[in-house]
Amino acid sequence: MSRIRDISVAAAGVASIIALSSASALAQSGEVNVYTYRETKLIQPLFDAFTKDTGIKVNVISASSGLEQRIKSEGANSPADVLLTVDIGRLDDAVKAEVSQPIKSDKLDEIVPAHFRDPNGHWYGVSMRARVVYASKDRVKQNTISYEELADPKWKGKICIRSGQHIYNNALFAAFVAKYGEAKAEEWLKGVKANLAQKPSGGDRETARDVAAGKCDIGIGNTYYWALMNNVEADKKPWAEATKVMLPTFAGGGTHVNLSGVVLAKHAPNKANAMKLIEWLAEGKAQQIYADMNYEYPVRAGVAVNPTIAGYGTLNPDPMPIAKIAEHRKAASTLVDKVGFDN
């Protein structure tokens, strides 16, 4: 009887261990850890929808800078599964910091155009934004403009822009370098600088504010800021009402776009769930959330653009691979300093 009792106790112990192990595995498989530069209010609806669809809990760490360095310092013990960020600069920084690993997904390759993903698979774009012109409705009669035209002397004293070293402008300037070379880019930057109405400052919203106030006639900003001011930020709606959005193009090309993108962390402890999230972000539901709540352009074909964004006109993204723009970031930054753009 004693032996039977011992066997029963041992069996119960083994069962408990198995149960605990299964519970632990289940808990681990039910989570994914996301590090992000994106504002919580912009991305929480995405995570809520993902959890509802999959049952996978999303743990979020947000910061305004330094996430690549944090993941690198955490090393193999990093809890990061996914880095969700904006701008090719941030994506490129993650690759250079060696905190990413290739994302291998036939689904993503089918959905995301080749020029919106890393050739080596270390990042994929999940939504687009364009770098455009906010123009005074009263003082600017034309409805089209090119990036090259920003250096035309007719705009002397009429352009507002944030710092030339900001990542959004750096990407635009890098695209110009990639298209025309450093010498022509330098001359163009000198021309744009000569046309500035004031020292580069503030953000894209402040650019619209200054155009509305008559400090300048045109300014450079991202597409979604104007939509947010017009539809969400009531105190800034007058700035949107005083301006219009023009989609500039490069001569013989299209409108410069940048990306919100995703990286699979090098030591992702929940890799399977990370891949589920990454692929889900390119699916129809997530792409529609990006369009309607974040006012961004979907990367997935067939997803409707938000009506406010559609009101700017048809976006024809420049075909230059975003990865090629990344290659010229340093040169663009050097040229900004060389011409004293921010001085």
Model confidence pLDDT, tens digit, residues 186-230: 999 999 999 999 999 999 999 999 999 999 999 999 999 999 999
Q: Which two tokens stand for residue 164?
A: 């030339």
Based on the fold, state whether residues 88 and 140 are members of the same structural domain: no
Q: What is the pLDDT of residue 29?
A: 53
Is the model's pTM score more than 0.85? yes
**Residue 4 included in any domain:** no
Mean pLDDT of 271-281: 98
The tally of CA atoms less than 13 A away on the side-chain side of residue 289 is 17
Tell me the backbone φ, ψ of residue 34, rounded to 5 degrees: -115, 125
Q: Is the pLDDT of residue 37 over 80?
A: yes
**Residue 213 included in any domain:** yes
**Residue 119 included in any domain:** yes
Report the CATH number at residue 275: 3.40.190.10
With pLDDT > 90 as the criterion, what percentage of the chain qualifies? 90
Based on the fold, state whether residues 331 and 221 are members of the same structural domain: yes
Q: Is the pLDDT of residue 18 over 70?
A: no
Based on the fold, state whether residues 134 and 124 are members of the same structural domain: no
Interacting residues of 48 by C-beta distance below 8 A, sequence separation 6+: none
* DSSP code, position 116: G
| Average pLDDT across the chain, whole number | 92
Based on the fold, state whether residues 115 and 187 are members of the same structural domain: no
Residue 217 belongs to domain spanning: 129-256+316-338
Q: Which two tokens stand for residue 272?
A: 């399977």
Mean pLDDT of 170-174: 98
Q: Is the pLDDT of residue 21 over 50?
A: no
Q: Which residues pair with 101 in a beta bridge?
A: 264
The model's pLDDT over 48-61, given as tens digits with 9 standing for 90+, comes to: 999 999 999 999 99
**Residue 331 included in any domain:** yes
Comparing CA positions, the residue from 320, 297, 317, 319 lying closest to residue 308 is 297
What is the band of 17 on the pLDDT scale with cuts at 50, 70, 90? Answer: very low
Based on the fold, state whether residues 243 and 321 are members of the same structural domain: yes
Based on the fold, state whether residues 287 and 323 are members of the same structural domain: no
The model's pLDDT over 137-158, given as tens digits with 9 standing for 90+, comes to: 999 999 999 999 999 999 999 9
Interacting residues of 92 by C-beta distance below 8 A, sequence separation 6+: 326, 329
Based on the fold, state whether residues 185 and 272 are members of the same structural domain: no
Cα–Cα distance for residue pair 317/258, rounded to 1 Å: 9
Q: How many domains are there within the chain?
A: 2
